[in-house]
Amino acid sequence: MILISSCLIGAYVRYDGGSQGDTRLIELINEGKAIHACPELLGGLNVPREPAEIIDGDGFDVLDGQAKVVTVDNKDVTAAFVKGAEATLKILLTENIDTVILKANSPSCGNDQIYDGTFSGTKKQGVGVTTALLIRNGIKVLSEQDYFSS
């Protein structure tokens, strides 16, 4: 079974109420080969919500208490991001998941680059909070680009 970021299968869960559904991933859901989850909604955040970025580090630093996640209005949403990561890990541990495909560049789901905390559209090397927790639990996380190119 595959776990996919909800926004990648067409669910309108992005911070701006949008989605980035891909027909190839939606097909996996329709065939019963995949389930989906949105860590930020699992963490208690709503749609739409203020955009958020990780300040002074990446998802690993957030888990270690060395960095935080803040919205563009400077509201600290770190606890919700960590809660969502833990809820996503719980799904992985209770379902028979062997592949994880999470949305690139997200402060929750990114697996290679994330936005740099300046809300200027600039990316930096690093992973999102959920991806960091999954990696720490020995779980490999692919982005949608990784999955399609593999």
Region from 33-41, 66-74, 92-100, 134-142 binding ligand SF4, contact rule CB under 6 A: 33-41
Measure Cα distances from 26 to 3, 10, 23, 129, 147 in Å.
12, 7, 5, 24, 14
Residues numbered 99 to 138 that lie near ligand SF4 (CB under 6 A) are 103, 106, 108-109
* Peptide bond before residue 48 is cis, with ω within 30 degrees of 0: yes
Residues 74-103 that bind ligand SF4 (CB under 6 A): 103
Show the beta-strand stretches assigned E in 19-71.
Answer: 34-37, 52-55, 68-71
Binding part of the chain for ligand SF4, among 24-32, 38-46, 51-59, 135-143 by CB under 6 A, reads 38-46
C-beta separation of 133 from 85 below 8 A: yes
- Out of 22, 40, 53, 116, the residue judged to bind ligand SF4 by CB under 6 A: 40
Contact residues: ligand SF4, CB under 6 A: 5-7, 13-14, 38-40, 103, 106, 108-109
